[in-house]
Amino acid sequence: MRLLGVKNQLKSLVNRRMAVTGMLLVFAMLAVMVTSIVLTALDRVATYANHLDEERSRETLVGAVQTFEFQLGSTLNDYAAWDDAAVNVYTAPDADWVNSNFGDMTFESDLFDVAIVLDQDGRPGMAYSDGKPIENNARGFLPHDLMFLFDQVRSGQSGPVPQALGFVRTVKGIGAAGVALIRMKSEPVEVAPQARRYLVFIRHLSANKVERISGAYVLPGLVLAPPSKRSTHAVTVESPSGISLATLAWSPRVPGDLSRQQVEPLVKAALILVAVYCLLLFIIGNSVVRRLRADEASAVKLARTDRLSGLANRDGLHVLLDQSLEEARGDGGDVVLLYLDLDGFKEVNDAYGHAVGDSLIRAVSAGLGVLVGEDATLSRIGGDEFGIVFFGPESEARAIAVAEAILDFFGEPLTLGERVVAVGCSLGLAMSHEGRIDGGELTRQADMAMYASKDGGRGRWTAYHPQMDEERETRNQIAVDLRAAIENEEITVVYQPVVDSATFELVSVEALARWNRKGHGAVSPDIFIPIAETSGLIDRLGLSVLRQSLAQLTAWPGLKLSVNVSPGQFRDPAFTSHVAALFHETGIEPQRVVLEMTETYFIQNPERARTVLERLRKIGVQIALDDFGAGFSSVGYLRQFGFDRMKIDRSLVQSLGEGHKAVEMLQATVALARSLDVPVTAEGVETEQQAVNLRLAGCDQLQGYLFGRPCSPEDIDALRLRPMDLRAKAAAIAFGHHRATDRPI
């Protein structure tokens, strides 16, 4: 729960930091975008304003040039369509009149500066320029383009008015020119075509005229330039036949540039302000990000720490392991992972509560911390699991030394306040040579090795070996098949006779489970019972044996029954009620049944064992301590838990042949049991001598191949029908007994 809280907090911190960083980025991008948009807009406005001004100047100039030409046109019309002129040219030709009215007018005139009269063949008659007659070079003022205009007028192609206009180049320069037929203004006068005369006026675009246009039309810097000089701010002057004569170019005023120059400092100031604002925001944002990052770092640390012990937790271990492996890959060192699981922690927790459980963990953590020392790292990876990472030189040797020291440490009971608790531990060791095995696999191997320690009887360390995987695989397969076998009711029960040691009469049978695994044959209970215990199948298997044997017992009145019970079955809270229900179903009196249990559970869970025993006693069933002499074997348990019977283990019985010591120990043990009023059964009795000695030692019941192997119910039926067989055996032994006492066994 707490770890989840830390993880969520870390997640939200990371999210917040990303959000702030994202916002800063977006903001910076926006600032860059706004700046570039503003600058681009400014540029566009300037360019557009420039362009607009250029267009307007061009239109104005085109208009000015046209006006220049039209003015000449209307002047020419005034002079050519003039009654006086027609009279003085055609009716009563008067050269003086013509000279003074046309030629003299060219002097310092603003309207035209060249006047020429042409005859029908285009030959110049009168010719004046700037008030002076042109002596010999009238042709210089009559270029090809002018003669083109003349032809138009002469041939009548110029339209209803016999007049044509256009720009031409003369010896004097570029000018507007016009050709018109001299005629009456009031009425048309018929003049023979041969007699017709034409008036030519030219108005040159002199420098001062250009200057006047420049002033009048506000086109600064207007100049007349050669036609080759094309420019965006210039207008081309063309002849009537379409030849470019010159260009009129003006200096652009570029109002856009001017306005831009005006606005630019302001815009720049504004942008600088925005930049300063962004910078401030960035600095603030950055410090926020830095603070979030620091929070994040401490949250990460917290997420990798176990609160109870202050050690690294599973995540912390993984990070550390990955780092160590990385280093090992670099420098060719070894990484060793030691996995440790407490044995009996859950029971302490259940018996004394979580507060005691917590202080046990703290005490163990502190103790382990001292043992592990500085050159390895200890972490708590689960409720009662610890991981220790060793790296650097001689990792393996150091890990083994620490493992031994830890086992020694757990050899002594721990004192927690007023309580003394005994917990053990199982260790698994796995090594990654040069970091070649990755963290996940190394963890799996250490875990596997640790379970091998547990299976091997706990309180030991085991190094991982690849064979463990195969064994695990085989065990898994067996577990799968066993589950199916239990479901299909393929677990059968055989019964081994138990006889009275005095009379050798059959008094009881022990129910033993049998499994014929399909495709593999019979599997020993020594193999499938432990697998059933570790894979959670023992509850159903145990109840199945109990059900079958109780049902069988109804056919054997007067006989007692022993049934084995695994410690694993005690963990099921409903165990006792299931047992009670089976007695109810079969109608068997509970007094006829003995449940056999080994001492391991009583050592590990004294409190729990006591409560279960009490409940079973209430049902009325008897409890036997099985396999006495195989393990710790303390007679103290007999007293402590008040067993109804004790069974001496086969190994002890078989050691009888080894000498006096064994005999004495057996005699003392049985005597002690009897002094506590606990009857004793000896099992594994194979020889007559053993039978004799066990009877002498005080065992009231015997069990073993000597009296019968575990067998089918039918075989038990046969034994019951022919009790003579056993009695004969008893007689033989009685005879042998005298010999046996002659010689000590």
Minimum CB separation of residue 351 from ligand C2E in Å reads 24
Chosen residue from 626, 629, 645, 656 binding ligand C2E by CB under 6 A: 626
Which two structure tokens, joined as six digits, stand for 524?
Answer: 């020993």
Find the catalytic residue in 396, 489, 683, 688.
Answer: 683
What is the C-alpha separation between 530 and 566, in angstroms, rounded? Answer: 9
Cα 214 versus chain centre, distance: 75
Task: Sketch the per residue contact string, 631 through 660, with ligand C2E: x for CB under 6 A, - otherwise.
Answer: -------------------x----------
564 binds Ca ion (CB under 5 A): yes
Minimum CB separation of residue 628 from Ca ion in Å reads 8
Q: Is 208 or 524 the residue whose CB approaches ligand C2E more closely?
A: 524
Helical H runs in 535-605? 538-553, 567-570, 575-586, 600-604
Q: Is 379 or 566 the residue whose CB approaches ligand C2E more closely?
A: 566
Transcribe 181-243 into DSSP letters: E-B-SSS-----GGG-EEEEEEEE--HHHHHHHHHHTT-TT-EEE-TT---TTEEEEE-TTS-
Minimum CB separation of residue 569 from ligand C2E in Å reads 7
455 binds ligand C2E (CB under 6 A): no
566 binds ligand C2E (CB under 6 A): yes
Instruction: Confirm if 557 and 563 have CB atoms less than 8 A apart.
Output: no
596 binds Ca ion (CB under 5 A): yes
Of 90-98, 665-673, 680-688, 717-725, which segment contacts ligand C2E by CB under 6 A?
A: 680-688
Residue 289 three-state SS:
helix
Which two structure tokens, joined as six digits, stand for 56?
Answer: 């307007």
Q: Which of ligand C2E, Ca ion, none binds 344 (CB below 5-8 Å, type-dependent)?
A: none
Of 201-209, 244-252, 413-421, 562-570, which segment contacts Ca ion by CB under 5 A?
A: 562-570
Residue whose token pair is 């917990």: 423
Q: Is 24 or 685 the residue whose CB approaches ligand C2E more closely?
A: 685
Q: Is 21 or 654 the residue whose CB approaches ligand C2E more closely?
A: 654
Q: What is the CA angle 486-487-492, rounded to 5?
A: 40
Q: Which of ligand C2E, Ca ion, none binds 233 (CB below 5-8 Å, type-dependent)?
A: none
What is the C-alpha separation between 645 and 633, in angstroms, rounded? Answer: 14
Chosen residue from 113, 343, 599, 627 binding ligand C2E by CB under 6 A: 627
Minimum CB separation of residue 626 from ligand C2E in Å reads 5
Q: Which of Ca ion, ligand C2E, none binds 719 (CB below 5-8 Å, type-dependent)?
A: none
Q: Which of ligand C2E, Ca ion, none binds 710 (CB below 5-8 Å, type-dependent)?
A: ligand C2E
627 binds Ca ion (CB under 5 A): yes
Which two structure tokens, joined as six digits, stand for 563?
Answer: 């049934």
Q: Which of ligand C2E, Ca ion, none binds 552 (CB below 5-8 Å, type-dependent)?
A: none
629 binds ligand C2E (CB under 6 A): no
- Helix axes of 525-534 and 467-487: crossing angle, nearest 10 degrees: 90
Catalytic: 683?
Answer: yes
Residue 143 three-state SS:
coil
The count of other CB atoms within 10 Å of the CB of residue 193 is: 7
Q: Is 376 or 493 the residue whose CB approaches ligand C2E more closely?
A: 493
542 binds ligand C2E (CB under 6 A): yes
Chosen residue from 89, 299, 400, 529 binding ligand C2E by CB under 6 A: 529
What is the C-alpha separation between 348 and 353, in angstroms, rounded? Answer: 7
Q: How many CA atoms lie within 13 A of 215 on its CB side?
A: 5
Instruction: Confirm if 317 and 387 have CB atoms less than 8 A apart.
Output: yes
Of 94-102, 436-444, 520-528, 714-722, which segment contacts ligand C2E by CB under 6 A?
A: 520-528
* Nearest Cα residue to 79 out of 28, 15, 126: 126
Minimum CB separation of residue 728 from ligand C2E in Å reads 19
Task: Sketch the per residue contact string, 485 through 504, with ligand C2E: x for CB under 6 A, - otherwise.
Answer: -----------x--------
CB under 8 Å to 498, separation ≥6 — which residues?
506, 507, 508, 509, 510, 560, 562, 681, 701, 702, 703, 707
357 binds ligand C2E (CB under 6 A): no
Phi-psi map region of 161: left, alpha, beta (phi>0 left; psi -120 to 50 alpha): beta
704 binds ligand C2E (CB under 6 A): yes
Instruction: Confirm if 320 and 379 have CB atoms less than 8 A apart.
Output: yes
Minimum CB separation of residue 685 from ligand C2E in Å reads 6
The neighbouring-strand residues paired with 391 are 335
Minimum CB separation of residue 10 from Ca ion in Å reads 55
Minimum CB separation of residue 708 from ligand C2E in Å reads 9
Amino acid letter for position 87: V
**Residue numbers at the binding site for Ca ion (CB under 5 A):** 564, 596, 626-627
**Residue numbers at the binding site for ligand C2E (CB under 6 A):** 496, 512-513, 524-526, 529, 542, 545, 564-566, 596, 626-627, 650, 683-686, 703-705, 710
The catalytic site residues sit at: 683
